[in-house]
């Protein structure tokens, strides 16, 4: 009847926010599918509204730049750009 053991049981995927790049834990965030079929995932409503409703560029937002700097600083082995 049903096949078991396909290798996908218990696999949890952590996506990154399409706007700010933060990791989205399972069970959180928003998933938005555009008309052309592109799937956008957001960590918060703030990111969703900024990108979809207002059309803002994440590179111009100070809070996004700060989040990316913090993310780079916490990753070991990668040089931080100033």
Are the C-beta atoms of residues 40 and 51 closer than 8 Å to each other?
yes
pLDDT in tens, 29-70: 999 999 999 999 998 898 899 888 887 777 777 777 766 677
Q: Would you list the domain boundaries of the chain?
A: 15-74
Q: From residue 67, give the alpha-carbon distance in Å to each of 3, 9, 10, 38, 75.
A: 43, 32, 30, 24, 13
For 15-74, CATH gives 2.30.170.20
pLDDT at 3: 60
């Amino acid at each position: 009847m049903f096949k078991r053991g396909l290798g996908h049981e218990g696999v949890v995927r952590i996506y990154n926010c399409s706007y700010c790049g933060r990791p989205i834990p399972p069970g959180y965030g928003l998933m938005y599918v555009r008309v052309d079929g592109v799937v956008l995932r957001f960590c918060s409503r703030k990111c969703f509204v900024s990108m979809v409703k207002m059309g803002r560029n994440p590179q111009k937002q100070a809070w996004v730049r700060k989040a990316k700097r913090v993310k780079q600083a916490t990753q070991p082995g990668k040089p931080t750009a100033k």
